[in-house]
């Protein structure tokens, strides 16, 4: 027996041991063009052994571009599986979120058809059969299987429940290379309307389901033992800009508490991924607030620091998305310290509007950019190049008690250290509208937009959030837009559509968004 047990101890429904086979033997169940459903969410809890075996089969037999599948997964998974598949041209359709250089390249070159979707809606729509009436083969990673054939997930819940509802065949990877996560999950498969029931979550630590997903044993065609660990993402440390943004947000929280709009222990926190999110969590770990709770979708390494600070009491999420090093080893070595303070829920519950609205979550996420009227772009650079996808940011921002987006005021281009402004006249793609967002923050300052009309909002964002090098450029645009549109009686939200993307055009041609003027008769390359 290994340190964490073996297949015989993890598979408690003993009749399933007759279906044990190698990952390589499972290749027989796959044919090109199939619709596949995987467990996993922001690389955690995803199957490894069988997807790797399929990639090796394609590579050994020169089947690149010939064996292509449609992937339906809760969110991104590890590069050793999905990104390797993309490098082998094994993906045709992909929903709803991904990470990896090869898959992003395939999407932007048109070889992979990706669909983007709010994650909570993707989960329920998958179960409704909107994307495919059935999943041909599901590959689910589990910690254990109960006597009743309940599947106990590993480090995420994702869309396991919805996949099981419509799966034709199921392959189970039992991961014995890490401790069992049994007891950490709150699993529920929502019923379809008109029989759908309320999600009665009143506190972050409430549970409404079971510690496993029920599964039809007759659908299981193979049991595979896996010892692969999650290849979790490591994020860069917080920099000076991230720390400044975190400071503005903490000051804002203090002011809201003083004004009586937030309790002293705030409200359940949702935080996206990345260095700014890490800086905010780090600031909270060292800040004046205590007895805090988290209701989010992803827990990163900094959440362990948050627990260690004694300021965080409990965290609810869909995924334990720790880094491969040092995150997961740290968690496993201190299991008794962290495990009973965390619950992992299905995506359809963790991101559902109902509990987010009821709990009064404070949502904090990072966009690519936002415009002067507070429309935010989270997905498409330049309005066309897909990065990862919308993720769950919209689920929280549209329903939160406070909806906050934070970004540096500028980013470097190849030729200019402040060549890209993250505050633009008009976002070239909009994921979150002005109706969704309450507060926008850069290292320059925090703009509380609640109760402001569009033109007031624009002036405040220019004054407070824009980088100093771009403020006069944006002000000139705004003044021109106001003058021209108001004179025609069309100026509620002034825009000049013949020049609102001139900054982006200049970036493409000259490597900077610092244009000399807004005249339309002047060449960009003066």
Summarize pLDDT for 155-185 with one digit per residue, the tens: 999 999 999 999 999 999 999 999 999 999 9
The residues, ordered by sequence, that sit 6+ positions from 77 with a Cβ below 8 Å of its Cβ are 38, 40, 43, 46
**Per residue in 82-108, pLDDT tens?**
999 999 999 999 999 999 999 999 999
Catalytic site includes residue 243: no
The first and second tokens of residue 284, run together, are 């909270």
Beta-bridged to residue 447, according to DSSP, are 440
Cβ pair 255, 289 in contact under 8 A: no
CATH number of 7-226: 3.40.1080.10
Residue 41: name the closest of 225, 212, 273, 354 by CA: 273
Per-residue pLDDT of the chain (526 residues), as tens digits, is 357 889 999 999 999 999 999 999 999 999 999 999 999 999 999 999 999 999 999 999 999 999 999 999 999 999 999 999 999 999 999 999 999 999 999 999 999 999 999 999 999 999 999 999 999 999 999 999 999 999 999 999 999 999 999 999 999 999 999 999 999 999 999 999 999 999 999 999 999 999 999 999 999 999 999 999 998 877 667 789 999 999 999 999 999 999 999 999 999 999 988 888 888 888 898 889 999 999 999 999 999 999 999 999 999 999 999 999 999 999 999 999 999 999 999 999 999 999 999 999 999 999 999 999 999 999 999 999 999 999 999 999 999 999 999 999 999 999 999 999 999 999 999 999 999 999 999 999 999 999 999 999 999 999 999 999 999 999 999 999 999 999 999 999 999 999 999 999 999 999 999 999 999 865 554 4
Number of H helices, E strands in the chain: 17, 26
Cβ pair 180, 144 in contact under 8 A: yes
R_g of the chain, CA atoms, integer Å: 24
The first and second tokens of residue 456, run together, are 């007031």
Burial tier of 33 (Cβ tally within 10 Å: 0-12, 13-18, 19+): exposed
Q: Judge whether 7-226 and 240-464 match in fold.
A: yes
Proportion of the chain in helix, strand, coil states, percent, rounded to 5: 30, 20, 45
Residue 171: name the closest of 351, 7, 27 by CA: 27
Options 297, 325, 434, 469, the catalytic residue = 297
Cβ pair 266, 253 in contact under 8 A: yes
Domain regions of the chain by residue span: 7-226, 240-464, 471-510
Cβ pair 271, 362 in contact under 8 A: no
Residue 503: what are its φ and ψ, rounded to 5°? -60, -45
The first and second tokens of residue 377, run together, are 């772009």
CATH number of 240-464: 3.40.1080.10
Cβ pair 4, 178 in contact under 8 A: yes
The first and second tokens of residue 215, run together, are 């599964």
Residue 167: name the closest of 204, 140, 207 by CA: 140
Look at residue 275 in the predicted model and tell me its pLDDT: 82
């Amino acid at each position: 027996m290994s340190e964490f047990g073996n297949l015989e101890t993890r598979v408690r429904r003993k009749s399933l041991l007759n279906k044990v086979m190698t990952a390589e033997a499972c290749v027989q169940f796959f044919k090109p063009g199939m619709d596949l459903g995987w467990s996993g969410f922001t690389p955690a809890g995803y199957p490894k052994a069988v997807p790797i075996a399929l990639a090796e089969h394609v590579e050994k037999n020169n089947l690149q571009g010939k064996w292509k599948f449609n992937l339906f997964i809760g969110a991104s998974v590890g590069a050793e599986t999905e990104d390797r598949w993309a490098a082998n041209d094994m993906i045709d359709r992909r929903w709803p979120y991904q990470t990896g250089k090869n898959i992003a390249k395939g999407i932007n070159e048109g070889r992979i058809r990706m669909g983007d979707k709010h994650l909570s809606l993707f989960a329920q729509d998958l179960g409704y059969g909107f994307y495919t009436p059935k999943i041909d083969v599901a590959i689910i990673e589990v910690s254990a299987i109960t006597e009743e054939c309940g599947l106990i997930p590993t480090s995420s819940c994702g869309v396991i429940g919805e996949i099981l509802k419509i799966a034709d065949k199921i392959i189970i990877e039992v991961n014995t290379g890490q401790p069992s996560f049994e007891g950490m999950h709150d699993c529920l498969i929502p019923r379809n309307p008109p029989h759908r029931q309320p999600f009665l979550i009143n506190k972050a630590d409430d549970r409404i389901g079971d510690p496993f997903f029920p599964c039809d044993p007759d659908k299981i065609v193979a049991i595979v033992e896996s010892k692969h660990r999650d290849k979790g993402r490591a994020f860069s440390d917080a920099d000076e800009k991230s720390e400044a943004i975190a400071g503005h947000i903490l000051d804002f929280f203090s002011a809201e508490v003083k004004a009586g709009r937030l309790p002293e222990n705030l409200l359940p926190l949702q935080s996206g991924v990345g260095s700014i999110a890490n800086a905010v969590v780090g600031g909270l770990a060292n800040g004046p607030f205590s007895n805090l709770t988290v209701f989010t979708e992803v827990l990163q390494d900094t959440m362990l620091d948050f627990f260690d600070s004694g300021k965080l009491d409990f965290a609810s999420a869909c995924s334990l998305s720790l880094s491969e090093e040092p995150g997961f080893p740290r968690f496993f070595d201190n299991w008794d310290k962290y495990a009973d303070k965390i619950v992992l829920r299905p995506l359809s519950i963790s991101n559902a509007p109902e509990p987010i609205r009821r709990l009064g979550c404070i949502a904090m996420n990072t966009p690519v950019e936002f415009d002067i009227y507070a429309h935010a772009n989270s997905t498409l650079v330049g309005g066309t190049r897909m990065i990862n996808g919308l993720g769950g940011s919209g689920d929280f921002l549209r329903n939160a008690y406070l909806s906050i987006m934070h970004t540096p005021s500028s980013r470097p281009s190849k030729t200019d250290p402040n060549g890209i402004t993250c505050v633009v006249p008009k976002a070239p793609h909009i994921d979150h509208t002005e109706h969704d967002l309450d507060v926008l923050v850069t290292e320059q300052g925090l703009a509380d937009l609640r109760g402001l009309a569009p033109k007031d909002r624009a002036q405040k964002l220019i004054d407070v959030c824009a980088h100093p090098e771009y403020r006069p450029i944006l002000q000139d645009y705004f003044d021109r837009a106001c003058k021209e549109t108001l004179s025609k009686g069309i100026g509620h939200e002034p825009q000049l559509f013949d020049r609102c993307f001139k900054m982006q055009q200049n970036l493409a041609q000259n490597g900077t968004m610092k244009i000399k003027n807004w005249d339309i008769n002047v060449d960009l390359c003066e």
